[in-house]
Structure 1
Amino acid sequence: MALTNSYLTSTKNLESIINSVINAKAPDRFTNKFLEDLGYKSSNDRLVVGMFKALGLLDDSGQPLQRYYEFLDQTQTGKILAIGIEEAYGDLFNLRKDAQNMSNDEVKNKLKTLTQGQKSDKVIGLMAMTFRAFCDLADWSEETEIQGSSENTAVQNERNDFAGFEKRGSKVPKTDMNLHYNIQIHLPETTNMAVYDAIFQSLKKHLL
């Protein structure tokens, strides 16, 4: 079951904790003491340790994993959070691929179904609140960037195909795009008609 049982009882310090963590040196082990040293001594704040484990940032003993070090890169923090959330709440994303856009009430209803009534309404509410809080801090734009990159790659491939065609003098490659090529032929100045005949025979062979 890809649905973490970890949750926070308060999310008011969540963004502040994350900011403090990514600006601090990675500890050998992420413990309650480490959080206290960062200024977070509340028992509510300590529950972040369990969530970091659920998000794949820490192992069961609290030792930072590779994802934790990637998380410290502030240009990637939001994206790493999104990846961890999708794994920790995989069952939610199986029900709806854009689960990060669900309202708090929608999340609660889905969680009730997924937990088959084994969780109290209070716990369901806290789980939904935690999910929404982390989603709001994550960066979900990666899919759009990948799609844009794919489109750019397709256009570049078309350009490369055409460049190769110009060099090889071969037939225009078949593509899924409806493109029209305008080809200009610059004929050499000559009085030898055999040269022109050879050129047009080659064009007929390769283009028509």
Structure 2
Amino acid sequence: MQGLGAAVADAIRLGYKELIQANEYFYRLSDKDLLALIVQVTGVEADNRAASLTLSCIKALKVFASFDATSVTEEEIQPPPNDYAQRPPGLPAPHSNNGHVGLNLSYTINLNLPATADQAVFNAIFRSLKEHLLSGNE
């Protein structure tokens, strides 16, 4: 099983595959040369903010990466089980309709009521809400 460093290195290789295609050992380049490679691959100007942020991101990730470690193979990658019976405790079961998983939506209504002592105003507001929002009619 691989360590965290190898996993980070694999993620860098995957995320920056255009850089690795241009230079297999791009992660060994100096900051200046790496920035030049980023500019070459992306086609942006050398003073472009995206290029400098890409360089910063790679530098930050390289601290955790171990490029000399063994890479993970396809056989070692196991997707998470797609079995509803193995879901974490407390997670509700998905709704199913004819074998299809349903989608539930909800919304929140914030109601600012007027400052009044007249009960008829409140009755009218809530009657209107019931008629238009809670009736199920579209």
Q: Which structure carries more helix by proportion?
A: 1
Q: TM-score, normalised by structure 2?
A: 0.45
